[in-house]
Every structure is written in structure tokens, then in C-alpha cells.
Amino acid sequence: MLGRFTVALFFLLLVWGNLVAGLKAGLACPDWPLCQGKVLPPFRLDIWMEFTHRLIAAVATLFILVLSWRRFASYKGLAKAVPLTAVAFVGTEILLGGVVVLLELPVQLTTIHFMTGLAVFLLAAYMAVFDGEGTPARFSLRGHAGLFFGMGLVLFFQSALGAYVRHADAGLACPDFPTCGGSWFPVITGGALLAHFSHRFAALLIFLTIGIICAACFLDPAMNRQRKAALALFMLALGQIAVGAFVVLSGLYFAATALHLATALCMILILFHLWATKSRNEEVP
């Protein structure tokens, strides 16, 4: 239960951070660790969006520290590196959060801040599934486990690219959909257009790959047990395209961008579930 709560808190933290970015409220608290020079800032929507983001981060940090402490006690051998890494990443994330604010949201550093938070989210998911007692800590890249892990890694970097597009104000570099500037293959004239079009093109490749994986789960007897999760993954991928289109056509409506990230996180969690299921069947930790 502790693991699930921790995963849910980091899910909320990542999505809330996207809402903060969508509302341009990242510098509503321009100081750190205080907000507007106070422990409890004055009530204003943008200020409290950013302040609430910090509060969620504080609660999530407490939960993952307790979870990491318990897993460190129950894990054996090299598996103890997982909770230690989680704690190290949490410390890094706290420092990055302060530096991002004090440096007024530099694009590259803000993207790294997101990637670190996403990594902690996945480490929390690992510790939620593998408790070290009833379910020993395992890691496998063999067979189908490697396929699901690799696909999850692709989604991790696709999400990071999406965060870069968001923070670099490149979300409307292609203001139309499904074409980009009226063309299927636009002439790349700058970094913003390159980032945005790369994100779209990668999304298409990911969707096609997920479609193949889903078909394999129905056709390959060795993967039949994963067909429900694979079908859910495919439906989410299909919905993600629709949400992505709405994000662009709505002019980056903040709720749509948050839903776009939330859907991506759900897809990553399903791939993690598929990988963990296969890893549990392996004999070697």
C-alpha cells in the first residue's frame, strides 16, 4: 500500500508540474525554499499552483524516503542499489527544483528536472511491485521482458522530448495537425520546429510499434496472458494521438497538455507492468 501511494503521489506531482508550466506559473514563487518571501504565501491562483506543487513534492519525498528505507532493509545484494538510487535522485531533484526557480526556468535544466522526477516515479513503481519479501527484487532484459523494457525506455525519452518542446515554447512550432505548417514533411528552419516535428514523428513510430506488440500478444501463445494489458496500451496510444492533436489545435490549452502527460505516464506504467510480469518469471535476480 505504501508503494502504491508513493507512485500515485509522484504521478500527481508530475502532472501538477505540467499544469504549473501550462499556466506559466513556474516563477510565481521566484524564491526558494520560501514563496514570495513567506512560508505561507498570499492567495493567488498562480502562486498557489506553484506552492501546491512544492507541497506535493514535500509529501512525495517523505513517502519515498520511508519506502526506500523499507526496501533497503528487505532487498538483498545489488538490489539495495535501487532504494539508494531513489534517495540520491530525490536529493538531486530537490536541488534541481531550487536551481530551476533561481535561474528562472532554463529550458535544458527544466527538462532534466522533469526527467529526474520521471526516473524517481519509475523507481517508486519498481519498489511498489518488488517488495523484497513476497516478491524478490528482479531485473531481466531477456526475451519479452527486454522488449517491454526497451519500449518503456523509448517512451521515457519521448516524454522527455515532449517536456523539452513544452519548456522551449515549441509546442506551436507546428500550429496545425496532422500536417506541420501545411506540409507532411516541412523544411526545418530552426530548433523549435525540429524538436516539435521530431516529437510527432517519434510518436507515429511508437504508435506503430505498440500496434505490432499488441498484435503479437494476440497471435503469439507465449504472450497471450499479456493481451489485455497490451490492448489497453494500444487504446491509450490511440487516445494519446487525439489528445496531442487537441493540444495543438487548442493553442496548448493547459488542461489538455496535462492530460497528454498523464496518458503518457499511464502508458509507461502499463509497459512497466508487462516488464515486471515477465521479470518475475525469470529464475535469476
Q: What is the pLDDT along the chain (285 residues), one digit of tens a residue?
A: 888 999 999 999 999 999 998 888 888 888 888 887 888 888 888 888 888 999 999 999 999 999 999 999 999 989 999 999 999 999 999 888 888 888 877 888 889 999 999 999 999 999 999 988 888 888 888 888 888 999 999 999 999 999 999 888 888 999 999 999 888 988 888 889 999 999 999 999 999 999 999 998 888 887 888 889 999 999 999 999 999 999 999 998 989 999 999 999 999 999 999 999 888 775 444
Domain ranges of the chain: 1-137, 139-285
Instruction: Give me the pLDDT at residue 279, please.
Output: 83
pLDDT for position 198: 94
pLDDT at 282: 55
CA 68, CA 143: separation in Å to the nearest integer? 29
Instruction: Report pLDDT for 101.
Output: 84
